Amino acid sequence: MGIDLARTRTFSAFRHPNFRRYWWGAVVSMVGTWVQGTALSFFVWELTHSPLATSLPTFFFGVPMMVLGLFGGVLADRVDRRRLLITTQALFAIQAAVLAGLTWFHLVRVWHIYLLSFVNGVTMAADSPARQALVPRLVAREDLTNAIALNALVFNGSRIIGPPIGGLIYAAAGPAAAFLANAVSYLAVIYPLAMMRLQPRPEEGPRPGLWADLREGLVYVWSQPIVRTLLLLVAMMGSFAFSYLVLMPVITTTVLGGGAKENGYLLGIVGVGATSGALLVAAAGAGDRPGQRLLALGALAGGALLTFSLSRTVALSGAVLFIVGMALIAFLSTANATIQNLVPDALRGRVMSVYALALIGSGPLNSLLAGVLGNYIGAPRAIAVSALLILLPVAVLALRARALLSFAPEA
């Protein structure tokens, strides 16, 4: 007798057909994204043997979010979010196909990769706030925290199999095959979006101008102390916590003595931990005191990242990366769910664009910091510095952020 996942608390959002179909399509698509991401970072490392050059695709991907991310939120509040997502997903597929073609015919240059990463970043500036803002329209309010955690599970659960598959494809057939697999995978999420039927959003009357819309969202964020503090925490994690991803090919080859397979394996271990963190939040919710949980998870992530910087074996690295993945995703899922439960739907796209700016838009700082420090003091020390830059503000907030620590969401 099979288990009906929708009847369990951990997967309660699956009782909504639109969410369920979208979720499964997103899983397939995100596996493809991890396949390409794993292959791409290793490909750039093999082309350049430079930690800084290896970090630059992430830098160029994040720059558009810094400049255009807030406007993406305005767009998500003005147009049909479902149609916007179909467009952005199609553009991602085209980018992956172009990269596959250039690589297959041996025409690719590093600057092509940087340019396509930038184009992807422009697309993500519109995609991310629309995707975050669409989820509450697919489920009932009581299932929102569960849906957000399961949405995080898409990104991180797919990391369990995506990077190892990417490593195997790279080793067996080369990077072009990995990029092509990603291009095809986007069809899995475009189809359910195209078939989805949603109730129209309530008419809001004449809208103000673009700048007035943008200002309204920023004023709301700044006027809400809890939302503002949560977004600052997300920005901290986005700026410093993901240095290990940027430098993973360097660590794998120069410190641990591995290759593409080991690189994929370690990234897959992060995915196992991240999946555990997402499932934890899906089952338990954001908690009665989400601020206290967030600071505890931040301290755990920083401590595990510091331990990873000291590891010199694949086994120990895998163990601590499991903890890093679990703590980071439980942190981000809790922050996301808490913010989404506080924000009104009319402002959701704009507020979630600030969330995306804090998380993805901080990527350029993360990648540049990791790349430059990796060049000058070595990859392990660069990761150690990033860990300390997490632990210090967490300690300060634990002592001074009274409002966050005492905050209890309404039932």
Q: How many CB atoms are closer than 10 A to CB 207? A: 11
Structure confidence at residue 408 (pLDDT): 64
Residue 177: is its pLDDT beyond 90? yes
d(CA 215, CA 74): 10
Q: Which domain holds residue 28?
A: 10-196+209-406
pLDDT at 87: 95
235-248 pLDDT, tens digit per residue, is 888 888 888 887 88
Note whether residue 3 is domain-resident. no
386, pLDDT greater than 50: yes
By CB atoms closer than 10 A (0-12, 13-18, 19+), residue 211 is exposed
Residue 2 inside a domain? The answer is: no
What mean pLDDT is predicted for residues 354-358?
Answer: 81
More confident residue, 289 or 166: 166
pLDDT of residue 5: 55
> Can you spell out the DSSP letters for 9-27?
GGGGGGGSHHHHHHHHHHH
Could you report the per-residue pLDDT of 78-125, keeping only the tens digit for each?
888 889 999 999 999 999 999 999 999 999 999 999 999 999 999 998
Q: What is the pTM of this model?
A: 0.72
> Which pLDDT score is estimated for 9?
66
Judge whether residue 154 has pLDDT over 50. Answer: yes
Structure confidence at residue 1 as a pLDDT band (50, 70, 90): very low
Q: Residue 409 region, left (φ>0) first, then alpha (ψ -120 to 50), else beta?
A: beta
In a domain, 4, yes or no: no
Q: Average pLDDT, stretch 51-80?
A: 81
Q: Specify the pLDDT at position 64.
A: 85
Q: Give dist(CA 403, CA 281) in Å, integer.
A: 22
Looking at per-residue pLDDT, the higher value among 407 and 131 belongs to 131
What φ, ψ does residue 240 adopt, rounded to 5°? -125, -20
Of all residues in the chain, what percent carry a pLDDT higher than 90? 28
The number of domains in the chain is 1
* Residue range 351-380: mean pLDDT, rounded: 79
| 355 within a domain of the structure (yes/no) | yes
- Domain-embedded: residue 33: yes
pLDDT band at 270 (very low <50, low <70, confident <90, very high): confident
Token pair in block for residue 297: 């998870």
pLDDT exceeds 60 at position 195: yes
Q: How confident is the model at residue 327 (pLDDT cuts 50, 70, 90)?
A: very high
Q: Region 359-383: what's the mean pLDDT?
A: 79
Angstrom CA distances, 32 to 155, 172, 216, stand at 11, 17, 37
- Confidence class of residue 158 from pLDDT cuts 50, 70 and 90? confident
Give the pLDDT of residue 2.
47
Residue 262: count of CB within 10 angstroms of its CB = 20
pLDDT for res 379: 87
Domain membership of residue 344 (yes or no) is: yes
- Share the mean pLDDT of the chain: 84
Yes or no: say if 347 and 292 are a contact pair by the CB < 8 Å rule.
Answer: no
Which CATH number fits the domain that encloses residue 379? 1.20.1250.20
Q: What pLDDT, on a 0 to 100 scale, did the predictor assign at position 207?
A: 60
Question: Which residues are CB-contacts of 71 (< 8 A; sequence separation ≥ 6)?
Answer: 125, 210, 214, 353
Q: pLDDT at residue 275 above 80?
A: yes
Q: Where is average pLDDT lowest: 12-16, 259-263, 320-324?
A: 259-263
Q: Would you say residue 202 lies in a domain?
A: no
Given this model, what pLDDT does residue 94 score? 97
Residue 346 domain-assigned (yes or no) = yes
pLDDT at res. 213: 79
